Every structure is written in structure tokens, then in C-alpha cells.
Amino acid sequence: MTLTQQVITIVMVIIGTMATRFLPFLLFPAEKPTPKYIQYLGKVLPAAVFGLLVIYCLKDVSIFSGSHGLPELISITVVVALHWWKKQMLLSIAGGTICYMLLVQLLF
Amino acid sequence: MQELKKKTKYLRALKAAFPYTIPIFAGFWFLGLTYGIYMNVSGFSFWYPMLMSLTIFAGSVEFVAVNMLLGSFHPIQVLVMTLMINARHLFYGISMLDKYKGTGWKKIYLIFGLCDESFSINYTADIPEDVDKGWFMFFVTLLNHFYWFFGATLGGIFGFFIHFNTEGLDFVMTAMFVVIFMEQWFKDKKHTNALLGLGLSLLCLIVFGADNFMIPAMIAILVVLTLLKKPMEKEVK
């Protein structure tokens, strides 16, 4: 690729990314009332999307080979337990991550 | 006096926003570094990760972009692939329509920086009454953007020299999304949509595989939530 072609490729990635971020705001501007259906989606989508993001983070975990997803399973259990117990975001995240690092570096 | 009031307003928003971004600091610093190193070993100078992290600010697609830049020149294919990878942002936008209202000029930047992490925090955070919501969300986005830029640039410059055992640090992002999922869970009375999101995504992952499951999962979520509109509307009220 020449430099110009590289620049065009990068600009395409920028346009594509920005399109997905700006489109909803362009389609449903703040001055106009948002359609009921879109308002409904705005309310019910986030919880579903957080579920999707959790699965997305785990997409490359293989249950049938390697460590069989055990480090992930154990560490997520630690995160859930810590968060249920203390409800302190940073503590739960740090606890789970340290647990995971120890597991993959020392045990698995 | 007016000046001073303004300054304390910014400072208060920054102080409230920063703690929420600490896990992202850890995650982005590491992922950004990985991305910068990846670009470095793929033969690109640090200018590439530096400028791309600044202008694109969407982690997953930036990793894919490395391969696109190494391949032959197909601009339309690049555009379509970017749209597919980032389609989930449409959901974020729809969910943030209300929250971003009345944020003035900051709105453009808030939308520009609407990545997974900015969305998750700005949607779920309990912003204190005395903190300006617009500035809070602005600083969350700005800090995230800075962490990513900082990591990517460092990785691009010093990639070759960094050798220490960070294996498993990327789990910080998984842990953060699990916590955010739980925060939303505690807030909601009914959990049909949360469980649907988990279940349908998992199902699509099994059926379509890691590289192709996102779009089917999004469509499945959209269709099922639309079909369940009547009973679900009773739940959210």
C-alpha cells in the first residue's frame, strides 16, 4: 500500500466508526420527540448489551482445550462474590483480575 | 468569582469521574500498549498507533485495521467491516439519547468517544447531585480517550523494550463488564432483558463462532425485545 492508500484506509475506519456512533443521534435529534419504540429500546437494551459485552470478552475462551475456561470461571466467581458482598467496583475488579493473573501465570 | 465557581465545577466533575475510570486506566494502558507493540512489530512507526488511537478510538477495530493496512487496498471492504464490528455502538447511541441531552458542545465529543467503556460507565454511574452530569460524562470519556492514546503511543515507541509478565492483565476488562452487568442487575427489578442478553449472545457464540457471532446476537436481541415489547413495558414501569 502507498501512503495515500493507507490514509484512505484509515479514513474509512474513522468514517465507519463515527457513522455507528453518530447515526442514532442524527436520526433522533434532541429537539424532536423520540419515537415510543426507540424510547422503549433505550430502556431495555442496556442490560441486554451488558450481557452481550460479558460474552464478547469471553468469546475466545475454549472449554474443550487448554485450561478449559477454568481460570475464567473461577475469577468471574470471585468478581461476582466480591461485588455481591462489598459492592465496591474497584475492589471486585482488582480482586478478580489479580486472581486471574495468579491462576494463568502460576497454575495453568 | 464567576471564574472560581466554574473552576470548582470542572474540578468536582473530574474528581467524581476519575475513580470510575481507574479500571479502564489499567485495561486501556495494557491493551493500548499491546496494540502499539503489535503495530510496531508489524512494521509501522509509532505515528500510526498514535494518530489512529486519537482519531478512531475503538479498540477492537484498530486491531483489525492493522491487518487491513498490511493487506491489499480495498476501501469499501474496510468500511463495511468497520460498520459490522462497530454496529453495537448503535445500541449505545439509542440508550444515551436521553442522557446526552442538554450537554451543549460537549455532546459532539461525547458521541465521538462513545466506546464500550465510556458507554458502560456513563450509563450506570450514580452521578452525585452536586456534580454537573455533562462534565462528569465528558471527563469519563476524555480520561478513557487519553489512557488509550497514551498506551498505544507508548507501545508504538517502546514496544521492543517492554518485557515483564503482564499475562492475564487483560482480564481487567472482563471483570469490569461483569461488575457493570451486576450494577445494572441491582438497579432493575426484573431481569428478563439482562438474561436475554446473556443467553442469546451465548447461543449465537456457540452457533456462529467467535468471529461471527456479534451481528446475529444483536439481531436476535433486537427481535426478541421487540416481540416482548408489550409484557416488557409493564416490567420497566
B165 and B200 both lie in a single domain: no
Residue B107 pLDDT? 96
- Higher local confidence (pLDDT), B66 or B136: B136
Domain limit, last residue, from B119, B134, B169? B169
Question: CB A16 to CB B210 under 8 A?
Answer: no
Residue A68, C-beta contacts closer than 8 angstroms, at least 6 positions apart: A62
Same domain, B30 and B68: yes
Q: Is residue B43 part of a domain?
A: yes
Cα gap B70→A71, rounded to integer Å: 34
HSE-up (13 A, CA, CB side) for residue B127: 20
Looking at residue B134, its pLDDT comes to 95
**Does B116 lie in the same domain as B40?**
yes
**B78 and B157 both lie in a single domain:** yes
CB B134 within 8 A of CB B102: yes
- B182: in domain: no
Q: Is 70 exceeded by the pLDDT of residue B71?
A: yes
CA distances (Å), A96 to each of A80, A87, B28, B31, B182, in order? 9, 13, 17, 18, 14
In a domain, residue B181? The reply is no
B91 and B16 in a single domain? The answer is: yes
Chain A residues with CB inside 8 Å of B31's CB? none
Statement to judge: residues B144 and B235 lie in one domain: no
- CB neighbours of A33 closer than 8 A, spacing ≥ 6? none
Residues B41-69, mean pLDDT to the nearest whole number: 89
Q: What percent of chain A has pLDDT over 70?
A: 100
At B32, is the pLDDT very low, low, confident or very high (cuts 50, 70, 90)? confident
The reply to whether B106 falls in a domain is yes
Q: What is the mean pLDDT of chain B?
A: 89
Looking at chain B from residue 5 to 34, which residues have their Cβ under 8 Å from any Cβ of chain A? Answer: 19-20, 22-23, 26
**Interchain proximity B194–A104, CB inside 8 Å:** no
DSSP B103: -
CA distance B86 to B54: 17
Same domain membership, residue B95 and residue B6: yes
Domain count, chain B: 2
What pLDDT was estimated at residue B123?
A: 93
Q: What is the reported pLDDT for B172?
A: 83
Q: Is pLDDT of A90 > 90?
A: no
Taking an 8 Å cut-off on Cβ atoms, the answer to whether A52 and B191 are in contact is no
Residue B64, in any domain of the structure: yes
B212 confidence band (pLDDT: 50, 70, 90): confident
Whether residue B194 and residue A41 make contact (CB cut-off 8 A), yes or no, is no
Q: What are phi and psi of B180, to 5 degrees?
A: -65, -40
Residue B31 confidence (pLDDT): 83
Looking at the fold, whether B128 and B235 belong to one and the same domain comes out as no
A28-56 mean pLDDT: 90
Mean pLDDT along residues A19-29? 96
Mean local confidence (pLDDT), B12-21: 95
Q: Please report the pLDDT score of residue B43 as a whole number.
A: 86
| Mean pLDDT on B154-170 | 76
In a domain, B30, yes or no: yes
Amino acid B68: pLDDT: 87
Q: Do both B225 and B117 map to the same domain?
A: no
With a cut of 70, say whether residue B237 has pLDDT above it: no
Instruction: Confirm whether B180 is domain-assigned.
Output: no
The whole-number average pLDDT for the span A42-55 is: 91
> Taking the model in full, what pTM does it have?
0.85
Percentage of residues in chain B having pLDDT higher than 90: 57
The domain boundary, picked from B136, B169, B202, lies at B169
Q: Which residues on B lie below 8 Å from A92 (Cβ)?
A: 175, 179
Closest CA to B225 of B206, B199, B205: B199
Domain hosting B85: range is 2-169
Question: What is the per-residue pLDDT for A54?
Answer: 93
CB contact under 8 A, B93 and A21: yes
Report if residue B152 sits inside a domain. Answer: yes
Top pLDDT among B6 and A94 is at A94
> Which among A21, A13, A48 has a CA at the least distance from the CA of B222?
A48
Q: Are A38 and B94 in contact (CB under 8 A)?
A: yes
Kindly tell me if the per-residue pLDDT of B236 is higher than 60.
no
8 Å CB contact of A51 and B195: yes
Residue, of A80 and B170, whose pLDDT is higher: A80
B158 and B99 in a single domain? The answer is yes
Are both B15 and B118 inside the same structural domain?
Answer: yes
At residue B80, the pLDDT reads 86
Please report the pLDDT score of residue B235 as a whole number. Answer: 64
Residues of B in contact with A26 (CB under 8 A): none
Q: Measure in Å the smallest separation between the Cα of B1 and chain A Cα atoms.
A: 33
Residues B81 and B110 in one domain: yes
